[in-house]
Amino acid sequence: MKIETKRLILRKPKKSDWKDITEGVGELDIARYIGRIPHPYKKKDAIWWIDQTLKKWNKKKKDDYSFVIELKPEKKVIGATNLHQIDGISLSAATGSWINKKYWRNGYILEAKIPTLDFAFNKLKLIRIESCVYKENKASNGMAKVFGYKLEGTKRKAVKAISTGKTHDENIYGLLKPEWKKARPKVVKRLKKKLK
């Protein structure tokens, strides 16, 4: 399965993606905001993640869709986004994403998240998406609000980042299907400005 946008392909990872993944997640500015990412991030770490992700893709009953984000013109993986902890009873899931630092501020998260959220709400028929963000991660907190997420609370000293050894407060955001429906036109408009 893959999702295509104007500039991107969202797809399951391949073994050959390890170099791009290592380059992107290897930046401390990425790793410090993702709890279970070591620093330095090495080939073995990328291969392990790819193997685990492919196992999840091969499950008949999926509770995880982790996509790498491939930039079409360069045929390069510049990030990843996912829907995980998918609960078929409560119809909910969690989500997260990252973009290689070299590609920040180009609208790639907007472009990747629009079809990911559409897939979650329209194809998987979920009613709620949750996003957990370190309190001091200004960019991700800001993006959550752009997508229509509501801040539902803060877990104090909730996550320890392996990369830095620091413990962080974590903001919990929730997005319901009607909220996404309302926010989506504004997000699309914002993306169109980036594409000009």
Burial readout 45-54 (b: 16 or more C-beta within 10 A, e: otherwise): bbeebbeebe
pLDDT given for residue 7 in this prediction: 97
pLDDT given for residue 107 in this prediction: 95
Q: pTM to 2 decimals? A: 0.95
pLDDT given for residue 194 in this prediction: 87
Contact 129, 94 (CB under 8 A): yes
Q: Which of 136, 132, 127, 160 is nearest to 38 (CA)?
A: 160
Instruction: Name beta bridge partners: 69.
Output: 10, 79
pLDDT given for residue 20 in this prediction: 98
CA 154 to chain centre: 20
Residue-wise pLDDT for 157-168, tens only, equals 999 999 999 999
Peptide bond into 40 cis (omega under 30): yes
For the chain, which domains are there? 2-195 (3.40.630.30)
pLDDT given for residue 35 in this prediction: 84
Contact 130, 150 (CB under 8 A): no
Residues of the chain with pLDDT under 50: none
Query: Which pair of structure tokens corresponds to residue 123?
Result: 């194809």
DSSP per-residue codes, 78-141? EEEEEEEEEETTTTEEEEEEEE-GGGTTSSHHHHHHHHHHHIIIIIS--SEEEEEEETT-HHHH
